[in-house]
Amino acid sequence: MIDLTNVTKTFASKTIFDDLNLHIDTGEMVAIMGPSGSGKSTLLNIIGLIDDFSSGTYEFDGVKNIKPNSRQANRTIREKISYIFQNFALIDDETVGQNLAIAQKYLKLNKAQRQKQIDVALQTVGLSGYADRKIFELSGGEQQRVAVARCLIKPSKLILADEPTGSLDGNNRSLILNELKNINRLGKTVIIVTHDPLVARECSRTIAIGSSSEN
């Protein structure tokens, strides 16, 4: 599904990573780890067609070198990729339900079906009854769980999660991690940037950025 060949990324004359080679199969659940500044989030953004690379080849789902911000990239993101961003990427002054409804934009569902889908997603992440709450009223951990709920709603082949458990306590970390594993069991590819070895241990494979090792 994902093939990066000799990919190099430079920014302001600084090399983030050089000649990176990476292959991830459909249906894998992979952790990306590495020290601060090693390019973990940059790599996730390249994989997710948000950021470009300087040289090399990137093939996603059989298509090579899709340019970020292009019509093809936007269509691919809309149809195949879901994100759980480190900053949540939620609209603060709208409700939880309104934020989740954005993920339903291209789904052919009636009003009752849309509401049921939102209710089920919120129940899954432990936020039943939160649909009418404003985002700014929620804690960081609750906002992270809304971001995961949004990911559950959008149909995608690839889930990209940047520190998805970083704002959560132990119980909620387990809840979100279990849900990501459930998504993976549906045949979806899940890639998680994390600093938490407990999260990495739950993945099928760990890729170490800034190191030659892989587990």
Residue 138: which pLDDT band, with cuts at 50, 70 and 90? very high
Diameter of the chain by CA atoms?
A: 53
In the predicted structure, residue 28 carries a pLDDT above the cut 80:
yes
Q: Percent of the chain, pLDDT > 70?
A: 98
Residue 13: which pLDDT band, with cuts at 50, 70 and 90? confident
pLDDT at residue 141, rounded to an integer? 85
Alpha helical stretches, state H, the chain: 40-47, 71-80, 96-102, 111-124, 140-153, 170-185, 197-201
Instruction: Return the amino acid letter for 91.
Output: I
Q: Chain-wide mean pLDDT for the chain?
A: 92
pLDDT at residue 211, rounded to an integer? 58
pLDDT at residue 215, rounded to an integer? 52
pLDDT at residue 155, rounded to an integer? 84
In the predicted structure, residue 214 carries a pLDDT above the cut 80:
no
Which CATH superfamily does the domain covering 2-208 fall into?
P-loop containing nucleotide triphosphate hydrolases (3.40.50.300)
Rounded Cα–Cα distance for residues 166 and 195 (Å): 8
pLDDT at residue 213, rounded to an integer? 46
Can you give the residue ranges of every domain in the chain?
Answer: 2-208
State pTM to two decimals: 0.88
pLDDT at residue 37, rounded to an integer? 85
* Segment 51-73, tens digit of pLDDT: 999 999 999 999 999 999 999 99
C-beta of residue 58 within 8 angstroms of C-beta of residue 46? yes
What's the average model confidence in pLDDT over 32-49? 94
For the ranges 36-45, 73-82, 109-118, 173-182, the lowest mean pLDDT is seen at 173-182
C-beta of residue 180 within 8 angstroms of C-beta of residue 164? yes
* Segment 64-123, tens digit of pLDDT: 999 999 999 999 999 999 999 878 899 999 999 999 999 999 899 999 999 999 999 999
Q: How far is CA 2 from CA 5, 45, 131, 178, in A?
A: 10, 13, 35, 24
